[in-house]
Structure 1
Amino acid sequence: MTKQEIREKILSMRRGLTSKYIDDESAKIYELLTESGIFEGAGTVLSYSDFDNEVKTAMLTGWLMFRGMRLYLPCVRKKEMFAADIKSAGLELSKFGIAQPKFGEASFLEPEKIDVVIVPGIAFDRNGHRIGFGCGYYDDFLKRARQAKKIALAYDFQIVDFIPAETHDVRVDVIVTPDGIIR
């Protein structure tokens, strides 16, 4: 299958999820993630605002902040993604309908200073390849955040056998699903 065919198939499945399924599976992922030790030594984390039935991140956001980590959210401006301090600005909806800090009010951190990036995606394979929406925001950001640990959160059905990788694609280091952690 092509990337687009995989994207359409998995998105269709994800859009059919019930809120109970999303809550239950997100809770399992949260539990595995927070008990894994993955965040040990991390001080700065870029997470994401979930939308369109993605794995929920609100509990994780609270957990990270409670532990004193500096939390950032993606903030898209034109064709670039920035890491905006979640406490520095009120939220607004991006052009994609995703909550993000208001660009004009936010303070930003350079990608090179991020310790962990929680990476959303539509599909992943066991080699860490991912399919997003195809805009390239995350790949471009992750290239600049080279030293950051890249962690994907995914429902089990989002793990596919093979994703055709391209030279600009950046792999994730870890994928956390309700059934376990793929390294």
Structure 2
Amino acid sequence: MRNLETKKEIRHKIIRLRKEMDPLVWQQATNTITETVINHPLFLEATDIYCYANYNGETGTLAIMEEAWKLGKSVWFPRVEGSEMNFYLVEQKEDLQPGAYGILEPTGEYKADGYDGLLIMPGVAFDEECHRIGYGGGFYDKYLKTHPDLHTIAVAFELQMYRELPFEEHDIKPEKVITEKHIYPLESGECFL
């Protein structure tokens, strides 16, 4: 790859840009992303939704969780336990409490089997081929390696998109990345902005 920024540089830059977003722009983009997710066939067809609580300027996810409940879907949130991440059932907002790094985590003990459903992935940056840079812990890569039947959608703001990112062959990329402007990978004929 030619002169690509390092993962560390990209993380620093994108986290700063997300934190600098105007709150109204953040909310409007989050609303658009949420509408696209909850109307996507992968969401509509799933009975189990594996979500996460947004943090550090990430795209909002709580409305996705609420829509899943309205549709009678089971909702699962991650909890980091040592070097592993597992998903636990969340039946109401009160089942989430601040955990590792101040991120909301489930308090329940009913662990997901991870054999079926849709996993909504966080990430710092993505490229047009859906390669992903996370926060560097490898939690989602590890989880998805042991739960390969889960479908995956990442949610991100368009400002998190790159033409090309550095990646490792073992990195697991989402099937789709949904931003306020596009669903990646782009259909033929669409242009990367």
TM-score by length of 1: 0.93
Correspondence 1:140 to 2:142: yes
Q: How far apart are 1:6 and its partner, in Å? A: 1.1
Task: Specify the code of the residue in structure 1 equivalent to 2:144.
Answer: L
Structure 2 residue aligned with 1:120: 122
Q: How far apart are 1:144 and its partner, in Å? A: 1.5
Task: Specify the code of the residue in structure 2 equivalent to 1:160.
Answer: Y
Structure 2 residue aligned with 1:96: 101
Task: Specify the code of the residue in structure 1 equivalent to 2:113.
Answer: E
Q: How far apart are 1:139 and its partner, in Å? A: 0.8
User: Take 1:62 and 1:180, find their aligned partners in 2: how far apart are those partners?
Assistant: 23
Q: How far apart are 1:57 and its partner, in Å? A: 0.8
Q: How far apart are 1:101 and its partner, in Å? A: 1.0
Report runs of 4+ in structure 1 exceeding 6 Å deviation. none
Structure 2 residue aligned with 1:169: 171
User: Take 2:36 and 2:96, find their aligned partners in 1: how far apart are those partners?
Assistant: 28
**What value does the CA root-mean-square deviation take over the aligned residues?**
1.5
1:115, 1:149 within 8 Å by CA — same for their partners in 2?
A: yes
Structure 1 residue aligned with 2:111: 108
2:15, 2:57 within 8 Å by CA — same for their partners in 1?
A: no
Within 5 Å, which residues of 2 pair with 1:61-72?
61-72=65-76
Structure 2 residue aligned with 1:28: 32
TM-score by length of 2: 0.88
1:79-126 deviations in Å (ceiling 9; x for gaps):
100010012883221221100012xx4210122x23110000010011
1:151, 1:172 within 8 Å by CA — same for their partners in 2?
A: yes
- How many residue pairs match? The answer is 180
User: Take 1:51 and 1:18, find their aligned partners in 2: how far apart are those partners?
Assistant: 16
User: Take 1:40 and 1:93, find their aligned partners in 2: how far apart are those partners?
Assistant: 29
Correspondence 1:38 to 2:42: yes
User: Take 1:90 and 1:151, find their aligned partners in 2: how far apart are those partners?
Assistant: 23
Q: How far apart are 1:36 and its partner, in Å? A: 2.6
Q: Percent identity?
A: 28
Match of 1:19 among 16, 19, 23: 23
1:50, 1:57 within 8 Å by CA — same for their partners in 2?
A: yes
1:45, 1:114 within 8 Å by CA — same for their partners in 2?
A: no
Specify every segment of 5 or more residues in structure 1 that has no aligned partner in the other structure, as ranges: none
Task: Specify the code of the residue in structure 1 equivalent to 2:98.
Answer: L
User: Take 1:3 and 1:165, find their aligned partners in 2: how far apart are those partners?
Assistant: 9
User: Take 1:36 and 1:101, find their aligned partners in 2: how far apart are those partners?
Assistant: 25
